[in-house]
Amino acid sequence: METKFYEIKDPSTRVKEIAEVGAILRKGGLAAIPTETVYGLAANAFDGEAVGKIFAAKGRPQDNPLIVHIADFDEVYGIAREVPDEMKKLAEKYWPGPLTVILPKKDTIPHEVSAGLDTVAIRMPSHPTAAAIIRAAGVPLAAPSANISGFPSPTSVQHVADDMTGRIDAIVDGGDCEFGIESTVITLASSVPRLLRPGAVTVEQLKEVLGEVEVDEAVLNPLAKDAVAASPGMKYKHYSPRAQVYIVRGDKYEYAQYLKDHKGEADYALLFEGEEELTELPSVTFGREDEPLTQTHRLFDALRELDEAGAKTVYARSPSTEGVGLGVCNRLYRAAAFRFLTDKKGKILGISGASGAGKSTVCELLAGMGAVIVDADKIAREVTAKGSPVLTELAEIFGADILTEAGELDRRKLAAKAFANKENNEKLISVTHPAIIRTCENRARAAADEGKNAVIDAPLLFTSGLDKLCDLTVRVTADRETRLSRILSRDGITEEEALKRFGAQTEEMKLAENADAEIRNGANESTESLKRQIEEILSGK
């Protein structure tokens, strides 16, 4: 197939070319087009046959759905079955731009686009050339990244030409992509909005609009073997260059030391700009350590450069996972197939604190500093999942009416019975705690072995004995008035219920007084001050 090349950096001066590319797409052809994130390989989203050709050109697995690109908000109504207010609010703030939103789909969208799912991913790109081409085509465009499946997404027209020449009808040169990593993907089709892929629109920015946002496990972790991917794209080996990439944990000095001690094992270093003197190895850089948007801009290009240079083994440094850094880590860890290197073991921290003291805030900050959070409440839900041995035993003790019709645990009913008296409470503990403790221990030790700090976040850290696993225990404190006002506004419970909750924690709070360290988190404590306190504790001061 002959591929036509167009240069359209400013669509207002290229009216004829825009119309030509629009016509190619409307008639069922394929065109690679620039966007502000990465280049996309577009086809008419309403034409199942045209969309089918995208999968063939990319060698993409059929069960991985595509994003539908629009130029005007009203097009959403022709694509999505339900358009919640949250969608409108997100669009007002972040569209056009690097954000994709998943909604329940209409039948207008063929199964080739949604890969058989009942939902559809929608994005309004801000690149003027992309918007002009969508309008010229007169239809929304389904477009994955314009690379051969499994290779880094293309961020320049040269990358696209390398992968797609001869395979598609047209390639449009719109210059280098501004962001350089793919859009943020969030689904509004779940009960709580869930981040499936991090990008230039950050979790913090999404929370400003949506309040609560869950971050999918697969964002920073390899998917468990038998897990179902919320986003099918997560299960494939992704963004991988031919070279074997490894991430060396630690700051730049630990990184340099590791390279010195393991001389000869790597042939290239992947570094931040200005750090070339850290090692004698030849290096490729990907942006500045303190500017994640320069990292996104460079990362995929840097990975392709390493391949062109013939690198076999590459040792990389990981950026922070905060803000846009989460998107960079998501791509870099996948490029490295989650291979981490370290000579050092992580610490296991245990965090306790009264309800409303702000343990979660402290844990979120620790997670931003690279720690793995082992959330005992979440694990308690996992070990009592439908069909689990623990749930079966609870039903034997407390009666089958603690189960819903679907066989799941009805937490309210269990709580009503288990907290009715001391004896029942002890029964509950004797069944659930051993399973929770075992799982917490396994996860924390696995993280520490990989060189990461692990944080056990448990409301009953000391009472349950989990503190004995920890290298360091920390209690988060705030005055009673602050705690009370936090839980009243957060949990929507009465003052009486809140006070009852405090009462249930008396024992834990007494034990927590023996914690190794304290983090003060009163009403006037700033994020900076919390971070300072955490850093002091981690550095052992």
| Chain contacts with Mg ion (rule: CB under 5 A) | 145
Q: Could you say which DSSP state residue 2 is in?
A: P
Q: Which is nearer to ligand TXA, 39 or 268 (CB)?
A: 39
What does 359 bind: ligand TXA, Mg ion, none (CB cut-off 5 to 8 Å by kind)? Answer: none
Question: Alpha carbon of 228 to those of 116, 217, 306, 358, 483: distances in Å?
Answer: 15, 11, 33, 32, 38
Structure-token pair, residue 16 = 């004829």
Q: Which residue has the tokens 């700051």?
A: 251
With CA atoms as reference, report the closest residue to 215 among 225, 200, 230: 230
In the bound complex, what is the minimum distance in angstroms from residue 403's beta carbon to ligand TXA? 30
Q: Which is nearer to ligand TXA, 33 or 391 (CB)?
A: 33
Q: HEC states along 482-525?
A: HHHHHHHHHHCCCHHHHHHHHHHCHHHHHHHCCCCEEEECCCCC
With CA atoms as reference, report the closest residue to 325 among 362, 288, 357: 288
In the bound complex, what is the minimum distance in angstroms from residue 139's beta carbon to Mg ion? 21
Q: Could you say which DSSP state residue 167 is in?
A: T
Instruction: Report how far residue 105's alpha carbon sits from residue 100's, in angstroms, rounded to the nearest whole number.
Output: 14
Question: Alpha carbon of 261 to those of 249, 254, 264, 359: distances in Å?
Answer: 14, 10, 9, 38
Q: Which is nearer to Mg ion, 32 or 472 (CB)?
A: 32
Q: Which is nearer to Mg ion, 145 or 318 (CB)?
A: 145
What does 38 bind: ligand TXA, Mg ion, none (CB cut-off 5 to 8 Å by kind)? Answer: ligand TXA
In the bound complex, what is the minimum distance in angstroms from residue 367's beta carbon to ligand TXA? 23
What does 289 bind: ligand TXA, Mg ion, none (CB cut-off 5 to 8 Å by kind)? Answer: none
What does 196 bind: ligand TXA, Mg ion, none (CB cut-off 5 to 8 Å by kind)? Answer: ligand TXA
Site residues (CB under 6 A) for ligand TXA? 35, 37-38, 40, 64-67, 100, 102, 114, 117, 119-121, 123, 125, 143-145, 182-183, 185, 196-197, 231-233
Q: Which is nearer to ligand TXA, 145 or 279 (CB)?
A: 145
What does 117 bind: ligand TXA, Mg ion, none (CB cut-off 5 to 8 Å by kind)? Answer: ligand TXA
Q: Which is nearer to Mg ion, 152 or 368 (CB)?
A: 152
Q: Which is nearer to Mg ion, 186 or 437 (CB)?
A: 186
In the bound complex, what is the minimum distance in angstroms from residue 182's beta carbon to ligand TXA? 3
* Residue whose Cβ sits closest to Mg ion: 145
The answer for residues whose C-beta is within 8 angstroms of residue 444's C-beta and 6 or more apart is: 348, 372, 374, 454, 456, 469
In the bound complex, what is the minimum distance in angstroms from residue 287's beta carbon to ligand TXA? 18
> Contact, 335 vs 241, CB < 8 A?
yes
What does 470 bind: Mg ion, ligand TXA, none (CB cut-off 5 to 8 Å by kind)? Answer: none
* Residue whose Cβ sits closest to ligand TXA: 233
Q: Which is nearer to ligand TXA, 234 or 436 (CB)?
A: 234
Q: Which is nearer to ligand TXA, 223 or 488 (CB)?
A: 223
With CA atoms as reference, report the closest residue to 326 among 491, 469, 195: 195
Instruction: Report how far residue 108's alpha carbon sits from residue 54's, in angstroms, rounded to the nearest whole number.
Output: 18
In the bound complex, what is the minimum distance in angstroms from residue 270's beta carbon to ligand TXA? 22
Instruction: Report how far residue 393's alpha carbon sits from residue 375's, in angstroms, rounded to the nearest whole number.
Output: 23
79-105 burial, b for 16+ CB within 10 Å, e for fewer?
bbbebeebbeebbeebbbbbbbbbbeb
In the bound complex, what is the minimum distance in angstroms from residue 208's beta carbon to ligand TXA? 21
What does 296 bind: Mg ion, ligand TXA, none (CB cut-off 5 to 8 Å by kind)? Answer: none
What does 119 bind: Mg ion, ligand TXA, none (CB cut-off 5 to 8 Å by kind)? Answer: ligand TXA
Structure-token pair, residue 252 = 């730049």
In the bound complex, what is the minimum distance in angstroms from residue 61's beta carbon to Mg ion? 11
What does 123 bind: Mg ion, ligand TXA, none (CB cut-off 5 to 8 Å by kind)? Answer: ligand TXA
**CA 411 from centroid of its chain's CA atoms:** 28
For 56-71, the DSSP string reads HHHT--TTS--EEE-S
